Amino acid sequence: MKTNYKPGVLLLEDGTEFSGLLLSSPASHKNFGYGEVVFNTSMTGYQEILTDPSYYGQIVCFTHPHIGNTGINLEDPESARTWCSGLLVNHLCDEPSSWRMTQDLNSYLLSHHIPGLFQVNTRALTVHLRSKGVLRGVLLPESEKAQGKNLLLDLPPFEGRDLICEVSTRKPFLWNSKKESSTEIRPEIQIVALDFGIKFNLLRSLEKWGCRIEVVPAQTTAQEIIQKKPDGVFLSNGPGDPSAAPYAVETVRQLLGRIPLFGVCMGHQILALALGAKTYKLRFGHRGVNQPVLDRSTGRIEISSHNHGYAVDANSLPTGVEITHINLNDQTVEGLRVKGIPAFSVQYHPEACPGPHDSLALFEQFIHTIKGHVPKIS
């Protein structure tokens, strides 16, 4: 283990402090880590998490004690950039080993200006967050702790802030992974993907089913989507409070019954709001690749990948909306289907990156929904 790391500290808004050693370049009051401090129970997948737009505005604490063992590679990013506000780990592996590796985790954080701490008591921090709920925090050098306390008083909260518009693409683009090849000829299906903070592997998963995908900004209107004459609309994952993006809710409301819809994570919550339901903030959220979900139609239990801080209020769902999936840890709503309308959604991530492959059939379900739908638009 290298010995030239400097002491740092995580300051939480309730006054609690957690010390450690600074990863990457020392943060300062001009380049500090600020965000909601959350914990993730994944054993691996740190590169996917760092580049997942759903983690925008969050300082992520890994409950698994060893992080960095496989380094960083060129194949696993889930977007074109990093989004986390900071990283907290217990044991840092600074001599990783993997045939795909191009650099170690610390140099990756340094090149992307992401502050982090290691040798943090992540077990104590996780217990604290489970007890108190998600808290805002700043990550700073120990020498700048006094400034950090003032920063927490001045920085804005995340509730009600529209994070979706901050991560969404600014202009439409056609997705082409340029990596998938197959001798099987499939008819092209035209998909418009509303980008609330979309992951690459969601796009790859749709592409494998013969979809031609146009990714559009979150603020794209229903009329603009209809003019593109898609066969289906995909509602992506994304960060923050779904009720802070009323424009997205209105777009989906106008698309209901006109075009087949499939929502994932944030897309699931936006669909629920468009149906007239409500969402609420979870105490400490669901973040990890090991969440058990019950498919109520089959009785099958899927192990699933999650990253969300909000959930759909089951009691607010209108008549005609069926709860298809339930989280077995806390009984929260994990899936919806609208009776008589080609629209369904899940709270978790079926693209399995990182995570298990139990839920990949949901993409096939979307394709079958599209093929069985008689268009109602010209």
List of domains in the chain: 7-154 (3.50.30.20), 164-371 (3.40.50.880)
Q: How confident is the model at residue 182 (pLDDT cuts 50, 70, 90)?
A: very low
Model confidence pLDDT, tens digit, residues 332-346:
999 999 999 999 999
Nearest Cα to 56, choosing from 273, 234, 266, 345?
266
Nearest Cα to 274, choosing from 249, 256, 251?
249
- The percent of residues in the chain predicted with pLDDT above 70, rounded, is 93
CB 212 within 8 A of CB 190: yes
pLDDT exceeds 70 at position 197: yes
**Which residues does the annotation mark as catalytic?**
265, 349, 351
* Between 116 and 183, the higher pLDDT residue: 116
Cis peptide before 354 (omega within 30 of 0): yes
Collapse the DSSP code of 129 into the 3-class scheme (helix H, G, I; strand E, B; otherwise coil) and give the result: helix
Q: pTM for the whole thing?
A: 0.93
Count of Cβ atoms closer than 10 Å to residue 111 Cβ:
13
Tokens of 349: 């991530």
CB 308 within 8 A of CB 291: no
